[in-house]
Amino acid sequence: MSEEETNTPGADVPHQAAAPDENGTGIASGPGGSGPGGSGPGAEALRVEGISKRFGPVTALRDINLHVRAGEVLGLLGDNGAGKSTLIKIITGFHRPDSGRIVIGGEEVSLRSVAHARSLGVETVYQDLALVDELPVYLNFFLNKELTAGPFLRHGAMRRQAVDALAEVGISIPSVGAEVRALSGGQRQAIAVARAVNTAAKVLLLDEPLAAMGAREGGQILRLIDRLRQRGDLAIILIAHNYSQVIDVCDRVNLLQHGEITFDRPTAETSVAELLELVHAEYRMA
């Protein structure tokens, strides 16, 4: 057995900065970049048209139209019960819509499962992050996708690839051998995001990534989202409640109310005050 396959989980690996790509950004282009079969910057990555969903007598979604392009961050706002979770579960293949269609990378698809959606490049980071506190960073990075050689885990290879992948999106972790429970909330969120995009991801859904974070950690995640936008090959949907953060980091904002998207506008053409007024108006009408 080679040394790379027998390294112990506790050994440290120096953090290496990523080499600049041809655009000088220091961030790899990734598998979804422009070229044959790819989705270049500005290409439409996801579109849903006329999506509706009922659960018995309750209409959760009604005629939803939504789209996002590669290199774009779309903010999805909505109060509790507005239908955000149902919409996300449809996009990720967990629920099937009662009507409407889904187009990924220019091709209409009928999503059969979460695994099917992931195979088409749809990745999601939920609030629980799906990290195991007792495992080191690099094993969390390869959770359920461990590299093996026969019956043995290739610890060395997984450590090196985790270091490289984190560096590519500008994440600094003291050691990929550190247990996840020793990391800050911002670092944990960043690891979950980096793990999601270390695939052939075309669409990344972030479910409340800034919830319960302080200003410093929230700023780290906002900068990470901005770096991912600069790659140009990834479309991001950011589900959030903080309107000012959405205005700061997103290119466009959709407001979901009572199962319908009632507002779709570039963030440069709206404001926190306007978004708050729309929501307050909903409460006044109720």
pLDDT for res 84:
93
Domain end, chosen from 178, 211, 233, is at: 178
pLDDT at 209 over 80: yes
Q: Are 207 and 127 in contact (CB under 8 A)?
A: yes
Nearest 5°: CA angle at 117, between 252 and 35? 70
- 140 and 127 in a single domain? The answer is no
Q: Is residue 211 assigned to a domain?
A: yes
pLDDT for res 285:
64
Q: Is residue 266 assigned to a domain?
A: yes
Give pLDDT tens digits for 146-169. 999 999 999 999 999 999 989 888
**CA atoms 129, 132, 133, 139: torsion sign:** negative
Give pLDDT tens digits for 26-39. 333 333 333 333 44
Q: Is residue 214 assigned to a domain?
A: yes
Nearest 5°: CA angle at 69, between 37 and 191? 85
- 88 and 226 in a single domain? The answer is yes
Domain end, chosen from 144, 178, 212, is at: 178
- 205 and 276 in a single domain? The answer is yes
Residue type, 62: R
- 41 and 111 in a single domain? The answer is yes
- 223 and 168 in a single domain? The answer is no
More confident residue, 117 or 219: 117
pLDDT at 75 over 60: yes
Q: Which two tokens stand for residue 177?
A: 């051998």
- 139 and 19 in a single domain? The answer is yes
Q: Is residue 226 assigned to a domain?
A: yes
pLDDT for res 50:
97
Distance CA 255, CA 64 (A): 11
Q: What is the CATH number of the domain that holds 265?
A: 3.40.50.300
Overall domain count for the chain: 2
End-to-end CA distance of the chain: 68
pLDDT at 20 over 60: no
CA dist list (Å): 4 to 154, 158, 160: 6, 9, 9
pLDDT for res 127:
82
- 142 and 280 in a single domain? The answer is no
Distance CA 202, CA 192 (A): 16
3-state secondary structure of 80: coil
Q: Are 16 and 164 in contact (CB under 8 A)?
A: yes
- 207 and 113 in a single domain? The answer is yes
Chain-wide mean pLDDT for the chain?
Answer: 84
Q: Is residue 194 assigned to a domain?
A: no
* DSSP symbol at 24: S
- 10 and 68 in a single domain? The answer is no
For 10, the domain range is: 1-30+135-178
pLDDT at 12 over 80: no
pLDDT for res 286:
58
